[in-house]
Structure 1
């Protein structure tokens, strides 16, 4: 049976790959896309999500809801240096009707009220929308079956500062609200170590996948080329795919090879360590609020990515540059 979920995203590069998995993996039942400020300009993120639906031939398959266009308490900081525009310069005219009139927070509250305990959320951007939903309705966390988060590092190195991973850095207050909110099942996939060891595709393997002759594979290459070049320039030896790995861990839990309970807290007050995720293990007798993935099945994940890129679709709207 397919797993029903909502995808909360700042769609650029691997976020769009996660959308493709949500639309095309038979084990995934993507009910809605909620947009949050993160990687690139907000309007561009919406454009990227709409293009992804078109490439998958899934226009109309699920609504796009616009969420928070800035963090709760801070100015937005993006990652265009890492991702460019998030889609390698591809462009498409987004027709009326692809974006819902219902806001993301309202959609999160409504959908979980209609099916309490049935829907999971996969949050692969800053946690602003999820925190805003928690603030608007304190019973919201109890209605969510599972919350899967891509964010933080397990007491390791960051990717936007030495201390912090991007998603938690952009809106640390939102992240702390979410970890304090009382969700019954929170699963975290981190930048360090999991992304850097298990969600990393070396260039030779990346180029082999990009040679697949399908619209999805060409779209994948356009999405990821800029980010791969940036990652290599800072010593990361391959294309990084933590967002799509996070989604795949929900719908294919056998990908999780090792996990442990942790108490996760996010630094909000220090300028030096803003967004740092302190993850306390059982030694410290702190009440756990998350399951943190420690190791994932890289080979199985990338086999699923290959199968995704080999899927033949017919983009239903013209995309310039594809």
Structure 2
């Protein structure tokens, strides 16, 4: 992958803000390589209003309130309804409350996505770390949208068929599989996936020792992380995972740090819409790149991910 040279990478993050989504936002807000242009919020992990609160709390912790607009998007999946993950995340921030009274931008998230890509065609990287409802609505509204996006990085799916909400399905895809199918078929010039399994479960785990290193930093940022991370850490470890999982942070880092990706391959991807495997992702290795509709990271640098976040939470540039 070739990144723009001599400047920060312009980003939009589409999020269902809770726990690791917050840490991914911190990375984009505080890493000097990233130029976060907007935050768009879609239905997902926790209640929509709680997600909005969590986004503004994260901006506050980062010292960036009023600098990056927050746009509110779709509150239900394309087929209707909402599937939350509050059993994993709690409220997504460990009971922490924001003190700012900042308000969301009145422009709807889908309108913002369309406008931003029209203003800077071929320049923006979008990182989608929640269900893909906002992106699917943008594709539905404007057939040219996908072609104006420099790259779309999606945290979602599973390369080996291991799910985290059903045996076969990963949460972000399962929460709106119709949206995922629409995005996969939209023709984005560069569509990249960071999956739950095996990549997250192998390369994006912060075990108890790593969490203690973060706690020992003793900064406001590290305190925020430890509290917001406690619920998913407890959930993951109680289900046999060796620590808290951080695929959202990995996805954002991949947008501006090519060295985080050790191996990436082309795939033909199909999203299952019916039956017991609804929400599953069928990744088929594509020997011929012309048969692929996406790429997926197959090996990431977990040590680099942790070191980067440790520096961010320590307050280092």
TM class by shorter chain equals over 0.9
After superposition, the Cα gap between the structure-2 partners of 1:287 and 1:180, relative to the gap in structure 1 and judged at 3 Å, is: same
Asked if 2 retains the 8 angstrom alpha-carbon contact of 1:47 and 1:94, the reply is: no
1:175 matched to 2:141? The reply is no
Query: Which one of the candidate residues 56, 67, 72 is aligned to 1:61?
Result: 67
Structure 2 portions without partners, runs of 5+ = 1-6
Asked if 2 retains the 8 angstrom alpha-carbon contact of 1:4 and 1:28, the reply is: yes
Equivalent position SS for 2:291: coil
* 1:284, distance to aligned residue in structure 2 (A): 9.1
After superposition, the Cα gap between the structure-2 partners of 1:198 and 1:41, relative to the gap in structure 1 and judged at 3 Å, is: same
User: What is the CA–CA distance in structure 2 between the aligned matches of 1:89 and 1:185, rounded to whole Å?
Assistant: 38
1:244 matched to 2:249? The reply is yes
1:306 matched to 2:313? The reply is no
Deviations 1:172-210 (A, max 9, x none): 000000000000001100000110000011112212212
User: What is the CA–CA distance in structure 2 between the aligned matches of 1:2 and 1:60, rounded to whole Å?
Assistant: 20
Equivalent position SS for 2:273: coil
* 1:282, distance to aligned residue in structure 2 (A): 2.4
1:102 matched to 2:99? The reply is no
- Residue range with higher mean Cα deviation, 279-288 or 45-54: 279-288
* 1:155, distance to aligned residue in structure 2 (A): 2.7
After superposition, the Cα gap between the structure-2 partners of 1:33 and 1:282, relative to the gap in structure 1 and judged at 3 Å, is: same
Query: Which one of the candidate residues 123, 128, 146 is aligned to 1:118?
Result: 123
Q: How does 1:179-190 map to 2 (within 5 A)?
A: 179-190=184-195
User: What is the CA–CA distance in structure 2 between the aligned matches of 1:282 and 1:141, rounded to whole Å?
Assistant: 22
After superposition, the Cα gap between the structure-2 partners of 1:73 and 1:26, relative to the gap in structure 1 and judged at 3 Å, is: same
User: What is the CA–CA distance in structure 2 between the aligned matches of 1:205 and 1:7, rounded to whole Å?
Assistant: 26
1:142 matched to 2:147? The reply is yes
Deviations 1:111-130 (A, max 9, x none): 10011111110000000000
Q: Report the count of equivalent residues.
A: 311
Asked if 2 retains the 8 angstrom alpha-carbon contact of 1:88 and 1:226, the reply is: yes
Asked if 1 retains the 8 angstrom alpha-carbon contact of 2:266 and 2:289, the reply is: no
Structure 1 portions without partners, runs of 5+ = 314-322
User: What is the CA–CA distance in structure 2 between the aligned matches of 1:285 and 1:32, rounded to whole Å?
Assistant: 32
1:262 matched to 2:290? The reply is no
Deviations 1:115-172 (A, max 9, x none): 1111110000000000000000010000000000000000331000100000000000
Q: How does 1:2-81 map to 2 (within 5 A)?
A: 2-81=8-87
User: What is the CA–CA distance in structure 2 between the aligned matches of 1:153 and 1:100, rounded to whole Å?
Assistant: 34
User: What is the CA–CA distance in structure 1 between the aligned matches of 2:305 and 2:288, rounded to whole Å?
Assistant: 33
* 1:265, distance to aligned residue in structure 2 (A): 1.2
Equivalent position SS for 1:280: strand
Higher RCO by CA contacts (8 Å cutoff, separation 6 or greater): 1
1:228 matched to 2:233? The reply is yes
RMSD, aligned CA: 1.4
TM-score (structure 2 length as normaliser): 0.96
User: What is the CA–CA distance in structure 1 between the aligned matches of 2:85 and 2:19, rounded to whole Å?
Assistant: 11
Aligned to 2:296: 292
Asked if 1 retains the 8 angstrom alpha-carbon contact of 2:160 and 2:198, the reply is: no
Deviations 1:29-83 (A, max 9, x none): 0000000000000000000000000001111111000000110103101000000
Aligned to 2:4: none
Query: Which one of the candidate residues 191, 195, 219 is aligned to 2:200?
Result: 195
User: What is the CA–CA distance in structure 2 between the aligned matches of 1:282 and 1:185, rounded to whole Å?
Assistant: 15
